[in-house]
Amino acid sequence: MEVFRTVEEMRAASEKWHAEGAKVALVPTMGYLHAGHISLVSRAHELADKVVVSIFVNPTQFGPTEDLDKYPRDFERDSAACEANGVDAIFAPTPDVMYASDFSTWVVEEKLSKPMCGVTRPIHFRGVCTVCLKLFNIVRSDVAIFGRKDAQQALIIQRMVRDLNVPVEIVTSALVREPDNLAMSSRNRYLSPDERKRALSLSRGILAAEAAWKAGEKDAQALIGIVKKSVEEGQGKIDYIVLNSQDTLEPLQKADKPALLAAAVYFGTTRLIDNVFLG
C-alpha cells in the first residue's frame, strides 16, 4: 500500500493505473475509520481494480463553532485498517496542499443543501462539494463510494456530479450500524457512557418508523412522531426530524414516493444523524 501526500504523486499513480487499463475507485473519508468506512472499501473492491482511500479532515466544511480541532485523528490506525482491507493507496494531503493561502473558488449546490443539515450548518455542504470535486480531479477515479449514513451529502454529491458533468460515477452504500443499532460514526467517540446509552433512542426511533412504514403507515407526521417520541424518551435535543422527497429533499405529506426519513439529534454536545430510505 502506498501513501501519497501530494497532488502530483496521487495523479501520477492514477495515470499509471489507467494506462494499465485498471479501473480506479475512491473512498473519500475524514479518517478515524470504522466498519462503515470499511464497508465502502469492500464495495469499492467490487467495482474497481484499484482502491484509493482519501483521509483529509477538511477544514472548509466545519463552521467556526464546530468540532474541527477536536475531530478524532489516528493515521497509524487508519493506515493499518486500509492495509488490512487491501487498499492500494491512501491519499492524505495536509490542508496547505489542498488550499492555497489565496484560495477563492467554491462549488455551491443551492437547492438540496438548504434543508436538514444545511439549516444549522450553512457552509458545510459548500465545503463538502468543493473538497469532493478537488478529490475527484486529483484522484481521477472512475467511481467514488459514499455512505448513505450521510444521506443528504450523497444526494448533493450526485447532483453536483450531474450538474457539472464530472466524469465520475457516484455509488452509495448502505448505512452500517453497531451491534446495538447505533449508526456508526467517528463522532460516537465523543459520547459519555450515559449519552451513548441514550443515543440508542435515535436509531430505535428510526427503525421503529421504518417498521411502521413497512406495515403500511405513510403519513409523514405519524412517522416523524415515532422518531420524536423515542428521541424524547432518550432526552435527545432535536435539531430536525424530516420526511423528505429523495429527489428534491422537499417535505412530503405522505411517504407515497421515494422518501428519506432523517434526523439530527444532540446527546450532550454531540450531534448525531441517522436516517432510513423509504421506497
Query: Which positions are catalytic?
Result: 37
135-154 footprint of its own copies as x/- string (CB under 8 A): --xx-x--------------
Q: Is 94 in the site for its own copies (CB under 8 A)?
A: no
Provide the minimum distance between the beta carbon of 278 and its own copies in the complex, in angstroms, as a whole number: 21
Residue closer to its own copies, measured from CB, 96 or 102: 102
Stretch of 95-103, 192-200, 202-210, 268-276 lying at the interface with its own copies (CB under 8 A): 95-103
Number of Cβ within 10 Å of residue 21's Cβ equals: 7
Provide the minimum distance between the beta carbon of 162 and its own copies in the complex, in angstroms, as a whole number: 7
Calculate the dihedral angle through the C-alpha atoms of 107, 132, 25, 90, rounding to the nearest 10 degrees.
Answer: 150
Q: Residues 43, 121, 159, 198: which binds its own copies (CB under 8 A)? A: 159
Q: Residues 77, 111, 229, 237: which binds its own copies (CB under 8 A)? A: 111
Closest Cα partner for 97 from 10, 219, 220?
Answer: 10
Closest Cα partner for 60 from 132, 164, 136?
Answer: 132
Asked whether the beta carbons of 171 and 178 are under 8 A apart, the reply is no
Reduce the DSSP state of residue 147 to 3 states and report it. strand
Residue closer to its own copies, measured from CB, 83 or 110: 110
Provide the minimum distance between the beta carbon of 67 and its own copies in the complex, in angstroms, as a whole number: 25
Residue closer to its own copies, measured from CB, 39 or 152: 152
Segment holding 196, helix H or strand E: helix 193-198
Owner of C-alpha cell 452504500? 173
Q: Is 119 in the site for its own copies (CB under 8 A)?
A: no
Q: Is 101 in the site for its own copies (CB under 8 A)?
A: no
- Phi-psi category of residue 52: left, alpha or beta, with phi > 0 → left and psi -120 to 50 → alpha: beta
User: Residue 26 and residue 90: Cα distance in Å, rounded?
Assistant: 10
User: Residue 251 and residue 260: Cα distance in Å, rounded?
Assistant: 9
Asked whether the beta carbons of 150 and 122 are under 8 A apart, the reply is no
Provide the minimum distance between the beta carbon of 9 and its own copies in the complex, in angstroms, as a whole number: 13
CA terminus-to-terminus distance, the chain: 39
Residue closer to its own copies, measured from CB, 1 or 7: 7
Residue closer to its own copies, measured from CB, 19 or 215: 19
Stretch of 53-61, 130-138, 192-200, 218-226 lying at the interface with its own copies (CB under 8 A): 130-138
User: Which residues lie near its own copies (CB under 8 A)?
Assistant: 7, 11, 100, 102-112, 129-130, 133-134, 137-138, 140, 159-160, 162-167, 248
